[in-house]
Amino acid sequence: MFIINCPYCGDRDQSEFKAGGEAHIERPKQPTELSDDEWAEYLFMRKNIKGDQFERWNHTHGCRKWFNMVRDTSNDEIKLIYKMGEKPPTK
Amino acid sequence: MPLNLRVKSSNFIDETTKVSFKFNGKTYHGFKGDTLASALLANNVHLVGRSFKYHRPRGIMTSGSEEPNAIVQVGNDKTITEPNVRATEIEIYEGLEATSQNCWPSVNFDIGGINNFLSPLLPAGFYYKTFMWPASFWEKYEYVIRHSAGLGKSPTKPDTDIYDHKYVHCDVLVIGAGISGIIAAKTAAQNGFKTLLLDEKNELGGTTIYQNSDNFKIDNKISSGWLSDQINELKKLDNLEIKTRTSVASFHGYNYLLARENLTDHLSKDEKKNKIRQRLLKIRAKKVIVATGSLERPLVFDNNDRPGIMLSSAIKKYADYYGVICGKKNIFFTNNDSAYESAISLFKKGINVQAIIDIREKSNSSIVKEAENLGIKIYWSHSVVDTHGYKKLKQISIMQLSKDGQSFGGLNKTILECDCLGMAGGWTPAVHLFTQSGGKLKFREEDQVFIPNKYPSKQISIGSCNGDFELDNIIKNSSNDVKKFLNIDKTDFDNLSVITSKEASKKNIWLLPSDKAIGKTKPFVDYQNDATAKDIKLALREGFRSIEHVKRYTTTGMGTDQGKLGNMHALGIIADTTGVKMGEVGTTTFRPPYTPLTFGTIVGRNVGEYFDAFRRTPMNDWHINNKAEFENVGQWKRAWYYPQNNETMHEAVQRESLATRESAGILDASTLGKIDIQGSDASEFLNRIYTNAWSKLGIGKCRYGLMLNEDGMVYDDGVTTRLSENHYIMTTTTGGAANVMAKLEDYLQTEWPELDVYLTSVTDHFATATIGGPNSKKILNKLIPDLDLSNENFPHMSFKEAQIGKIKCRIMRISFTGELSYEINIQANFGKSLWEKCIEAGKEFNITPYGTETMHLLRAEKGFIIVGQDTDGTMTPIDLQMDWIVSKKKYDFIGKRSLYRSDTMKEDRKQLVGLITDNPKEVLEEGAQIVSELNQSPVQMLGHVTSSYYSPNLNKSIALAVVRGGKNMIGKKLFVPMKNKSINITVVDPVFLDKENKRLNA
Amino acid sequence: MLNYNSSLKEDKNYQGLTVREISPIMKLNLRGKSRDFLTTIGKNINMILPMEANTSSSSDNYTSMWLSPDEWMVLSNKIVDKENNNYDIEKLLFNKISKTKLGSVTDISDQFVMINLNGEKIFDLMSSGCPFDFSDFRLKVGSVTQTLLTHIDVIIHHKEANSVNLFVRRSFSEHLMSWINDSASRL
C-alpha cells in the first residue's frame, strides 16, 4: 500500500486512488487519418518496464484529479509526481 | 493428585489465583499468567501432540510463537472450535478446553503412529512418487489424501466472535518490547515522537525481564531490575502507546504494517462476552524500529524430537518466568554459552542439572567458569547421538567428537539418564519482518547468521534481530542507531556501564554426526512436517538445488511455524552437502503473516450486512411496505417485482407488464446515473463522447446517446436533456454511473483541458418516478394540473420544468418501455412523497408499481438493449444494428476510428437479433448457445441468448440474442440445444412490438 | 403538498459520541477556474472561497469547502425551509456564473446527507474505518477532507472542537449510519 502525494491534497493512502495505465499516450488528433496499425499502436500497445515507469493515477476518492507518476516497478518507489499537462522529465 | 512442578520464584505468575482448565478431557490447574504450555509442564504433561507425517509423540519445545509441536485445538464445541493454536501462546483462563491434534483415537494411543514404523516407505516427495499411477486411481487417492491432510479440525459453523479493524498512524513504531525495543521506545517518546510500542507477549521486557544473574548488570543493577525500572518510567510517557498481546503479521512497502491485537483470548468465557476478540491494526508509521529479537535454534541429531527435548532458552523461561520445572533430571546440549545461563539459573533454583554436553573443546567465558565452579558436569567435545523413550525422554547417548566435528573420537558411547534435554544451537535473528518489507539480507560468516543489509524504507533493525547478541553491544548499538535514525543528540542510555559475559568460542555443526548410517536416523529439521536431514539430502541427491525447490519437495519450513526453527539448518545442510557457501544458498522468502492470523481478524467487521455497502433509493421504505422483492444492481437494492397474494415471480411480472401496457405502471428509476453538465463547450463535449450529433438539439429536448470505448465497443447509454444553451443533464445506466463520470472527467482533464465544461454528479440529489402506459398522461395531469401535456407542447423526447406545490421538479417525456411515459425527477427528500402522490392519483387507473424485471421484459418487447446484458464489451453499435445512431458527418468521436478497423468491419461478427420459438410457450434460457447444425462434431456455436421472456402482451416467448452474421439471417431456422432436448427457433427482427412507435407518441 | 423525508430516521447517543442528521441544508456545488469566477462568487455570497486544499471558509450564512482546485461545496449554516426548494442564492449564482460561462452552479442539497458527529470519540470512530491520518486535521478547526469511511466516499468537515460534519451520498447514508452505530456501540 503506497502513500501517494496527491499534487492537490497531499499525502494520502493508496486506497483513495486508482491507477490509470501508462502516461503520455496522447489521443491522436486525427484518428481517421491513421492506418489500422497506427491506430492499434495507440489503442493497444503499452509498455511494461522493469524500472521507471510513467503512469497515470487518479485521486478517485479525493479531489478526483488525474496526475502523473514515475514509479520504479522493481521496488515500487515513487520517484516523482507531477500534474497533468506538465512535461515528463527527460531521462 | 497431579504433580505440581513449581518453584516459588516468579514475579509474573499470580499464585493466589488458581485457574482450572481441561486438556484432552482431563481437568488441570494452573495459575493466572500461565500459558497452556507452562501449566501443562507444571502438571508434568509433556506429550501434547503427534507429528504430521509419522504421528510421532511430541512435546512442548519452545515458549513462544515459534512452537512447532504443541499445536492444539481450542474449544470442545465442534461448531465454533479453533484449530492450530500454539499452546505456548494461549494464556489459560477459567473454562479453557483444549485437545491434541493429528491423533486418533487419542494422543496416548494414536493409530497413525504406525506411520513411524512405515517411515522408510514415506521419504521426501512420497506423494509425488506414489500417487502418480495409475492415473485412473487419482480420485481414490485424492479421497485418502484429503482425509489425512491438514492439522486440526475447522469449525462447522460461522464464527460468532466479534472482530474489528483499526487504522493507526504514528511517528515511530517500535516492534518488540525487549531491552532494545524499550530503549528505542523511550528515546522516541521522550523526544516528542508519537510512538507506538508493540509486543506479542502479555508482558514487556523480552528475555531480559527475567534475567536475574550477576553476570549481566546494567548501571550496577541486575539487568532485570534495571529494565523493570525503565519500563515503569516508560509507561508514564505521554506520547507513547503500548499494545501487548499484539503480533505484527506483515510489514509492507511505505511502512504499512498489519498487526493482530489480541483483546479477549486470555479472558474467561464470561469476560469475553460482547467484546471485540481480535483487532487488525492497519499501521502507517513514519519510521519503524524493528526489535523483534532472535529465535534459539535447536540442534539436529538422531531422534531430536522426543517429548522432553526442548530449547534451552525455553527451559530457562519456564523456570525463571513461570516458575515451572520442566524436568527432574535436566541435561543441556549446546554449541554456545547460552545453555550455561539456563543451567546456572536452574541450578540456583535448586533444580537438578545432570550435565552440559558441549560440542566445543573449551570456553573461558565468565559464565562457563561459573558453571564449572558450581560443579556442573560438562562434557566438552561431546555430542548427543541418540535419545531414548517413546512418549517421554528417558535417556540420551553421547559420544566424543573428532577434532573436525564430523565424526567421533572413539567408539565409546555413554548413556545418561535424563527426562529433559535443553538444546542450544545458537541464535537466529528474527529478520522476517525486515525481509517482508523488501529488505535484503547479508550473511555474517563468523557466526553464520543472516542479518539486515539495506533498508528499503525509513526503518532500522536493532538488538539481536540485527545480529547483536551480547548485552553491552545491544545497549550501545541500539541507542546509537536510534539516535542517528531519529536525528537526536543524546539518550538516557549513552555511556551506561554494562557487565556481561563475553562469549569466547563459537562452533556450529548444522547436522551433528551419527554413529549410524544416515538412512537409519531421524534428525528432524522441521518438526511439524517431519522433514529430516535425511530428506534434505535425498532431495539433493535427486537433483534439487534451489532452496525454494528443496523446501517444497521436503516440506521443510512449510508448517504453521513457517520454518522459524529449522530453516537455517536446512540451508546449512544444503551448503555443507553441495559445497556451496551458505550466504550463496540464500534463504527462502519470508512471507506474511509472521504468525497465523484468524480469518476473523483479516475480515474484521466486513461480514454480513457490512460485507459490501448497499445503496437505497428515497422510495425504499414504500417498496418494503409493499412487499417488494429486491434485486442487487451494482450496490443498489432495486425493487425487482411486487408479488401479490402469493404470486410467483413469473405471475407478478406478467401482471405488472400487462397492467402497464393496458393502463399505467410506475417504476422507481432513481438509481439511474445523473450528471449535470455546464459550460460553453458542453455541446461540443457531447459531440465527442457520444456517437450521434448534439449541437442542434433544441433547448428542452431529450436525445438518446450511445457511448463507446475508444475500441469502438458500446460502453454505456442513456438520455441526455438540454436544459438551456450551455446546460445539459445526462443519464447513465445504473451500474455504469460512477465509471462514466470518471471517464468523462478523464477526457476533460487529460485530453481536452481546453474545453470549458464542468461535470457534477447529481445521481443522489434526484428521486425519479417513471409513470408509463396509455393513462400516464391523465395521472400526470391530476398531479400537475397547470402543466400543458398536449403533444404539441410536450411531445415525446422533450422536457418541462414544473412545480408540485412549491417544490420544483423536472419532467422528461421519454420511454424505455415503448409506452407513453413521463420521468419525474424531484429532489430526493421529496421522492417518497412524490411516489405516494403518483400512486394516489393513479388509483382510478389501476396504476401498478413494477420492478426491474417487468422493466426488462417491456423494453425487450420493444427491442431496446440493456448495456451489460445484451452487450458484453465486444459489441459495436453496428453489431447491435444501431447504425442509425452513429453519425457519419462528425469528424471524430470516442471510438469512431475503431469502427473502421478490419476486425470490427467483419460481416460475421456477432450481431443482435430477435428470436422466437416454434413453440410459443417455450421460454429460452438466457446464456443458452445457438447452433445451426445439431449433428456436427465439434458443434459450431453461433452465439447465445442475451435476454429472454414470456411476453404477456404478445402472448408468446421472445428473446434477444447475439448471433454470428445474424443481421443477414432474418427468417432462418436455428436450434438451441439443451440438456435433454433441442429447441427450434427462428431469427427475427429484435423489435417485437409497435415498430411504428404509435404508443409512445400517443 | 409534498412531504419532506430526510434520509436518516433517528439520532443516536453513545458514550462520548452523538450522531444525527441535520436537514434540510442547502448545498451547492460550484465549479470554475477563472479569477472572475472567484470574485463573482465572493461578491455574491460575501465570502472568499478557500483556495488552500483541505480547508473551508465561513460567513454568517454559508460555509464553503474546498473539494478540488476547481470545485467547492457551499452550504447553508442554518436549516432551510422544508416546504420550498427554490433557493434565491442558487438562482442568483446560476445566473451570474453558469449563464455568463464563468463556471457551473448545481443544487446538490439532497445529493449529500449531512451527519453531525459530536463528542470526544469522533476520531476513534473514524479510525475504525478510515485510512486518513487525522493527526493534523483534528488540531485544526475548519479542515476538510475527502476520503473513504468503510469503503464509502465521504467529505469530512471539522466544524468546531468535538464537532464534525460528515457528508455522504444519500443512497449510502442508511448503510453508513448502520455501520457507524455498529462501530460506535463498541468504542
C25 vs chain B: nearest CA distance in angstroms? 11
Q: Distance between CA atoms of B144 and B125, rounded to whole angstroms?
A: 17
Give the chain A residue whose CA is nearest to the CA of C53: A9
**Rg of chain A on CA atoms, in Å:** 15
pLDDT band at residue C9 using 50, 70 and 90 as cut-offs:
confident
Q: What is the secondary structure of C96-108 as a DSSP string?
A: IIITTTSEEEEE-
C155 vs chain A: nearest CA distance in angstroms? 9
Which of B688, B749, B887 to probe by mutation at the A interface, max A CB count within 10 Å? B749
- At B572-627, the pLDDT tens digits run 999 999 999 998 888 888 889 999 999 999 999 999 999 999 999 999 999 999 99
Which grid cell sits at B646?
A: 402469493
Evaluate if residue B669 carries a pLDDT over 60: yes
Predicted pLDDT at C187: 86
Contact A9 C148 (CB under 8 A): no
Cβ count within 10 A of residue B801:
11
Provide the pairing of β-strand B395-401 with B382-388.
antiparallel
Evaluate if residue B145 carries a pLDDT over 80: no
pLDDT band at residue B130 using 50, 70 and 90 as cut-offs:
low
SS3 for B726-754 is CEEEEEECCCCHHHHHHHHHHHHHHHCCC
- At B537-561, the pLDDT tens digits run 999 999 998 889 999 899 888 888 8
Which grid cell sits at B734?
A: 445504473
Mean pLDDT, residues B317-344: 95
pLDDT band at residue B115 using 50, 70 and 90 as cut-offs:
confident
B827 touches chain C (CB under 8 A): yes
Give the chain A residue whose CA is nearest to the CA of B709: A43
Q: Distance between CA atoms of B472 and B488, rounded to whole angstroms?
A: 21
Residue B731 near residue B655, CB atoms below 8 Å: no
Q: Distance between CA atoms of B573 and B590, rounded to whole angstroms?
A: 19
Predicted pLDDT at B588: 82
- At B680-710, the pLDDT tens digits run 999 999 999 999 999 999 999 999 999 999 9
Evaluate if residue B127 carries a pLDDT over 80: no
b or e along B846-856 (b: 16 or more beta carbons within 10 Å of the residue's beta carbon)? ebbbbbbbbbb
Predicted pLDDT at B293: 97
Beta-bridge mates of residue B930 = B943
Predicted pLDDT at B1: 36
Which of C1, C137, C138 to probe by mutation at the B interface, max B CB count within 10 Å? C1
Residue carrying C-alpha cell 501487548: B244
Q: Which residues contact B146 (CB under 8 A, 6 or more apart)?
A: none
Beta-bridge mates of residue B728 = B677, B722
Q: Distance between CA atoms of B991 and B871, rounded to whole angstroms?
A: 17
Evaluate if residue C91 carries a pLDDT over 90: yes
Residue B721 near residue B677, CB atoms below 8 Å: no
Q: What percent of chain B has pLDDT over 70?
A: 96
Please report residues of C whose CB lies closer than 8 A to that of A13: 131-132, 147
Cβ count within 10 A of residue B625:
8
Q: What are phi and psi of B64, to 5 degrees?
A: -145, -160
Peptide bond preceding B105 in cis form (omega within 30 of 0): yes
Domain boundaries, chain A: 3-26+39-83
Please tell me which chains touch A, using 3 or more CB pairs under 8 Å as the contact test. B, C
Predicted pLDDT at B3: 52
Please report residues of A whose CB lies closer than 8 A to that of B896: 31-32
Predicted pLDDT at B706: 97
Helix (H, G, I), strand (E, B) or coil at B478: helix
CA C144 vs CA A5, B587, C18: distances in Å: 17, 47, 20
Sequence-separated contacts (24+) of B987-990 with Cβ below 8 Å: B987/B913, B987/B914, B987/B915, B987/B963, B988/B913, B988/B914, B988/B915, B988/B916, B989/B863, B989/B913, B989/B914, B990/B863, B990/B881, B990/B912, B990/B913, B990/B914, B990/B960
State the Cα torsion B496-B499-B501-B503 to the nearest 10°.
30
Sort A5 into a burial class: Cβ within 10 Å, 0-12 / 13-18 / 19+: middle
Beta-bridge mates of residue B914 = B960, B988
Contact C111 B762 (CB under 8 A): yes
Taking each helix axis from N to C end, the angle separating B366-373 and B338-348, rounded to the nearest 10 degrees, works out to 40
List, in order of start, the domains of chain B with CATH numbers.
Answer: 1-154 (3.10.20.440), 164-294+429-499 (3.50.50.60), 315-425 (3.50.50.60), 906-1002 (2.40.30.110)
Evaluate if residue B280 carries a pLDDT over 90: yes
Q: Distance between CA atoms of B296 and B292, rounded to whole angstroms?
A: 13
b or e along B675-686 (b: 16 or more beta carbons within 10 Å of the residue's beta carbon)? bbbbbebbbebb
Specify the CATH superfamily of domain A3-26+39-83: Folate-binding superfamily (3.30.2270.10)
- At B840-866, the pLDDT tens digits run 999 999 999 999 999 999 999 999 999
Provide the pairing of β-strand B420-424 with B330-334.
parallel
Peptide bond preceding B774 in cis form (omega within 30 of 0): no
Sort B119 into a burial class: Cβ within 10 Å, 0-12 / 13-18 / 19+: middle
Find how far residue B473's CA is from the centre of its chain. Answer: 39
DSSP E strands in B828-862: the ranges are: 848-849
Predicted pLDDT at B128: 66
- At C32-85, the pLDDT tens digits run 999 999 999 999 999 999 999 999 999 999 999 999 999 999 999 999 999 889
Predicted pLDDT at B586: 83
| Regions of chain A where pLDDT drops below 50 | none
Single-letter residue type at C114: M
Q: Distance between CA atoms of B670 and C171, rounded to whole angstroms?
A: 10
Predicted pLDDT at B2: 45
Q: What percent of chain B has pLDDT over 90?
A: 84
Sort C124 into a burial class: Cβ within 10 Å, 0-12 / 13-18 / 19+: middle
Taking alpha carbons only, the member of B150, B47, B147, B42 closest to residue B106 is B47
Q: Distance between CA atoms of A56 and B835, rounded to whole angstroms?
A: 44
List, in order of start, the domains of chain C with CATH numbers.
Answer: 11-24+110-187 (3.30.1360.120), 27-108 (3.30.70.1520)
- At B190-236, the pLDDT tens digits run 999 999 999 999 999 999 999 999 899 999 999 999 999 999 999 99
DSSP B362: -
